[in-house]
A = this chain, B = another copy of it.
Amino acid sequence: MRFFSDNAAPACPAVLNAIVAANEQDTAYDGDRWSRALDGAMSDLFETPVACLWVPTGTAANALALAALCPPHGAILCHRDAHIQVDECGAPEFYTHGAKLLLIDGDGAKLTPRAIDATAAAIRDDVHQVQPHAISITNATEYGRVYSPAEIAAIGEVAKTRGLGFHMDGARFANAVAHLGCAPADVTWRAGVDALSFGFVKNGGMSAEALVFFRPDLADATRYRRKRAGHLQSKGRYLAAQILAMLAGDTWLTNAGAANAGAALLARAGGGRLIQPVEANEVFLRLTAAEAASLRAQGFDFYDWGEGQARFVTAWDQGEAVVRPLADAIAAL
């Protein structure tokens, strides 16, 4: 059984059904009835008017959001281990036309207002240095940690004070919200977030992510950038339908809750081996090479994550029942 990544999971039934149901003739690009329903559905979910654009990947969503918030000669403040820095092959630089990512340290891939302030304060205010224009955080983080509404609001304050845009990479936003049990608004625009990459693919989607702008005017230029990047799919209805299907009946939350529950079970089994608190659907454990080999021999696949460490990720279809054999195997090490 694979615990490499929630990307490895199939699409959930709701998504697959929605794709089949959308398989009829309609207007091309984003003029179809599914695409036109997105703004409304997301505005309902977030309890405020938003603009929502579908794109096929989190990398596209992140890069388009950052391009809307930072000029080519600006800088984006983010964590050293942020996905936008280490796993997107320079997509932010491509879409922003060469902005610089300024890297900040922090436990669990989390930024703090203090750390952000220290980095921003060290930049001379002259034309020789790129000036910060945006902050980007990931929630849940790359280490499966979750920012609380208060933590995000504190960063939002820094953004506001310094005049910076505020982006959230929410590849696992659903897992964060499921963990927090809060309103989606509480960890986004109410806390100062301007743009959210709202992930669906890791959570049971097939090929659709939602880029949500809480300042809807940011979408205006972004629509051109999306087309220009080749992301305005001609049969966009299949993407919009996926997102709508996952919002309907809170499938997005149910799926994320299941993945979180699976991870929680692994966390309990991991006990003292845990490197990070498990708050979403990622589990980082200390494992010797022999222990890792033993688990693999039992059919469990996962990534090594540096010397003596391993990462396990649960997906929407890997809830408690499915994950129990791995939990037992870890406990038995």
Contacts and interface: CB of A to CB of B under 8 A. Distances in A.
Interface size class on chain A is 35 or more
A235 to B, nearest CB: 6
A89 B100 CA distance: 9
Contacts of A235: 7, 11, 201, 206-207
Contacts of A86: 128-129
A18 to B, nearest CB: 12
A79 B101 CA distance: 16
Nearest to A67: B72
Contact of A231 (B20, B29, B230): B230
Of A10, A62, A87, A99, most B-chain CB atoms within 10 Å: A10
B8 A89 contact: no
Nearest to A223: B127
Contacts of A239: 207
A59 interface: yes
Given A11-B235, A201-B235, A59 B98 contact: no
Interface in A116-151: 127-131
A230 B8 CA distance: 18
Contact of A230 (B5, B206, B227, B229): B229
Nearest to A30: B127
A227 B28 contact: no
29 contacts: A7-B234, A8-B25, A11-B235, A16-B20, A56-B56, A56-B231, A56-B233, A57-B232, A58-B234, A59-B227, A60-B230, A72-B93, A72-B97, A72-B225, A72-B228, A73-B228, A86-B129, A89-B130, A90-B98, A90-B100, A91-B228, A91-B229, A93-B98, A94-B229, A95-B230, A201-B234, A206-B238, A207-B239, A231-B231
Interface of A: 2, 4-5, 7-11, 16, 19-20, 23-29, 55-64, 71-73, 86-91, 93-101, 127-131, 201-202, 206-207, 221, 223-235, 238-239
What 3 A-B pairs are tightest by C-beta distance, nearest first? A60-B230, A93-B98, A7-B28
